[in-house]
Chain A
Amino acid sequence: MFPFPTFPESASSISGRIDLLYLFLVGISMLMSVSIFLCILFFAIKYRRGSRADRSNIRHHSGTVELLWSGIPLLVFVFVFGWGASIFYDAFTAPDDALQVYVVGKQWMWKIQHPEGKREINQLHVPVGESVKLTLTSEDVIHDFFIPAFRVKRDVLPGRYTSLWFRAIKTGSFHLFCAQYCGTNHSAMIGSVVVMEPTDYQNWLAGGPPAESMAAAGAKLFERYNCNTCHRPGGRGPPLSQVFGSQVLLASGATVLADEAYLRESILNSTAQVTAGYQPIMPTFQGQISETGVLHLIAYLQSLGAGGKVQAQP
């Protein structure tokens, strides 16, 4: 016999919450559609032409009735909206202690790298019970990283970072789909997410050929592109230790959080948001560093320590 599931497996900390709301909506919908269906059936039979049903006192409008059947649904809608929004907020707010994993989508594969350096393609290994935050970007068109069993999904865009987090609650192997149409082999841009016990995960991470950590790879790039010519204490560019995660005061007077997106932009389009006290003289590296390379550089900057204070003044 064919395998014939009718409800998806629930394998993340958020999937049960989404299912509960989904089932609540299924309940409301059944209640509504069944009552409308029964009304139509009942009226259609009772008031068929020629029947002897009582048709006296016909009313053609009633403000009270209209108010009731627009007001009550509205209240239910507001309730459902709030419920859905609270799940959405949590789904968009990754815990600070989440493990970082980096994902680059391209036609038609997923390239994944763990900070320790381990790389994989179309497979993502994660430990059970730990929060994992994916930083996603694309080398070409829009893709979408979708794990049905976790009820998580996020578009993966060229030219910017999006992120997605989950905490798996079950070990096993789960579908990974590209959910945003991306061209000829869209339906082959699939893979699996393997959830392992934490010790197995550590073993898996340490196994295989020794890999260079993303930060180490970034440090090499930093040297190769001679970034340290300027980015050093007293240099023409702002020093970069403690910059990751800090608030940067810009030449425009605004402050901006030095997150992955800001650092990426500052590498590729360096004059867009210049730190206060510096000249916009950095050359652009657009087209010279791959998306993976940019991720390495950011990992390197992150390894220099996360700052909290306002960076300004040479």
Chain B
Amino acid sequence: MNPVAAQAVNQQPLEPREHYLNAAYGLKSWLLTKDHKRIALLFLASITFFFFIGGLFALMIRLELLTPAGDLFTSANYNRLFTMHGVIMIFFFLIPSIPAVLGNFLVPMMIGARDLAFPRLNLLSWYLYTIGGLFTVIVIVTGGVDTGWTFYTPYSSTYSNSQVALTVVGVFITGFSSILTGLNFIVTIHKMRAPGLTWFRLPLFIWAHYSTSLIMVLGTPVVAIALVLVALERLLRIGIFDPRLGGDPILFQHLFWFYSHPAVYIMILPAMGVISEVITCFSHKRLFGYNFVAAAAVAIAVLGFLVWGHHMFVSGQSMYAGMVFSFLSFLVAVPSAIKVFNWTATLYKGNIVYSTPMLYAFGFIGLFTMGGLTGLFLATLGVNIHVHDTYFIIAHFHYIMVGGAVMAYLGGIHFWWPKISGKLYPEGWGRLAALIVFIGFNLTFFPQFIVGYLGMPRRYHAYPPEFQVLNVMSTAGATILGVGYLLPLVYLIWSMRYGKAAGSNPWGAKGLEWETSSPPPTENFPITPVVTEEAYNYAAEEAADG
């Protein structure tokens, strides 16, 4: 395996080398590229755009909630703000984030392949995402949508006077982007692994993406169908969900959550994959319990399909169905717990470096643990009755999705930035931003657990005055969090021009992606690598220090 790396290191400083970034120039070379690395960057640009739009909406929500009275926006506009925030962050940022950017870039490189199995399909996936995104932008400028990102019927199908149909079409189209990415990953991981790279030698990032892809392919069609049915009922008055037309509103919730609960795992499984890579690299140690962590990813993907009813304990679903879904929800917590314990155990007797990605990984473990534990509160039937549809649940899923998925996404972007751009980011700024994000995040969302248990319902434009102190804390935290997110945008762009050259493997990490040069050549590997060892084989370093 090493000759490739050695060759790359020797070549790099001497003269400009051809790599995927300078292989061709011009807009056309990007828009018609079939290179998975370039498509990853197209996704990076698009989802960053949507992340900051969604973030802007979040900031506006928090500003409105500074005071108990609804005084900054009208109720109609406030409802559009939180709906657009949810739709954009879920469908246009979180779901594609790690798979479409880091997964696209790294899945072929980690398994020693030249590209994904279907490069054209991969490009189509970005175009579908962009078309779906375009619909969403049109929705924003033509008045927005006010159904909540959950599109509950019959409000969405009959009563709402906003751009429901356009939004639903946008999400529907973007769903196909997700399906194609998942399909591509599954085929690639099955068929294109380098010689010697057996399933149990795969990096956990690959296991995570494989599990995620299964959910994308199996779950997305269901939400797509549900949303088409909403549009049909809305436009053609076909009675499916509205009882006045003979429909059943609970049916929509079943269809919606059958996808949207597993979708939570689409967001968190790849994040777990990133964390496994970062922790092993910066502990310079093989992951503790590799087989269990890999199996846990698959278990989460499978069990994740069986717990959708826990969103509906007080919805009018039967009491006994509630009990079954509650029990299954506790089961899905076990593999998540296994992962947290194994990451922590990996640190034991490691050689730990406090780099920026590692700080994000520490933050991830802490925040994901809190998000997971508060998930138990929600899975617990008696307690759920009280906290359902309050700020408690808002805090819970932001701990998982922002504290978990976004922290891991940022950690991953920093970790692989040298590989993607060929440049090092400024480490001091990186650590500072990670710290700001961690502090801002906790200040934003921890008070929401308390205000949620006090009984403040979600999606409230105005609220009773006794909730104000906690809401002010939350808004203050959101401001800090905003700064934490802007910093990386600035210094990462800065580093593309002014950063130090990274070399092929600045972290001393294991994994095939580190054996080729940075940025990698278009074909990734001049010679197809042959794998002879397990993942995370840091044995030499472990022994040297031991």
Chain A positions within 8 Å of B, measured between CB atoms, are: 2-8, 17-18, 21-22, 25, 28-29, 32-33, 36-37, 39-40, 43-44, 47-50, 53-56, 58-62, 65-66, 69-70, 73-74, 77-78, 80-81, 83-89, 91-92, 107, 140-142, 144, 146, 148-149, 151-155, 157-160, 162, 175, 177-188
Contacts and interface: CB of A to CB of B under 8 A. Distances in A.
A267 to B, nearest CB: 14
B369 interface: yes
Interface residues of B, number: 99
A22 B508 CA distance: 46
Given A44-B347, A181-B155, 19 more contacts: A2-B469, A8-B455, A21-B380, A22-B386, A43-B348, A55-B349, A55-B545, A80-B330, A81-B381, A148-B454, A151-B386, A154-B316, A159-B244, A177-B457, A180-B389, A181-B147, A181-B148, A183-B155, A186-B79
A56 B344 CA distance: 18
Interface in B346-392: 347-354, 362, 365-366, 369-370, 373-374, 376-377, 379-386, 388-390
B334 A77 contact: yes
- Among A4, A48, A187, A188: residue with most chain B CB under 10 A: A187
Contacts of B366: 33, 36-37, 40
A48 B388 contact: no
Given A7-B454, A84-B326, A179-B457, A70 B334 contact: yes
Contacts of A175: 455, 464
A276 to B, nearest CB: 25
A69 B337 contact: yes
Given A36-B340, A40-B347, A184-B79, A141 B155 contact: yes
B523 interface: no
A310 B186 CA distance: 59
Contacts, number: 273
B155 A62 contact: no
B375 to A, nearest CB: 10
B333 interface: yes
16 contacts: A8-B455, A18-B382, A18-B385, A22-B377, A39-B344, A40-B362, A55-B349, A141-B155, A142-B152, A142-B154, A151-B385, A153-B389, A157-B250, A158-B242, A159-B243, A184-B79
Contacts of B340: 36
Interface in B142-159: 146-148, 150, 152, 154-155, 158-159
A29 B243 contact: no
Contacts of A29: 370, 373-374, 376-377
Contacts of A59: 288
Contacts of B59: none
Contacts of B154: 140-142, 158
B83 to A, nearest CB: 9
- Among B285, B349, B353: residue with most chain A CB under 10 A: B349
B373 A33 contact: yes
B455 A69 contact: no
A180 B458 CA distance: 8
Nearest to A164: B314
B380 A84 contact: yes
Contact of B319 (A17, A47, A74, A89): A89
Contacts of A5: 454, 466
Contact of B326 (A8, A81, A140, A179): A81
A88 B317 CA distance: 13
B537 to A, nearest CB: 10
B196 interface: no
A36 B377 contact: no
Contacts of B198: none
Interface string B232-248: 00000000001110001
B38 interface: no
Interface string B511-546: 000000000000000000000000000000010011
Query: Considering the complex of A and B, which 9 residue pairs feature the smallest CB-CB distances, nearest first?
Result: A148-B455, A159-B243, A87-B382, A88-B381, A84-B380, A43-B347, A187-B460, A77-B330, A29-B373
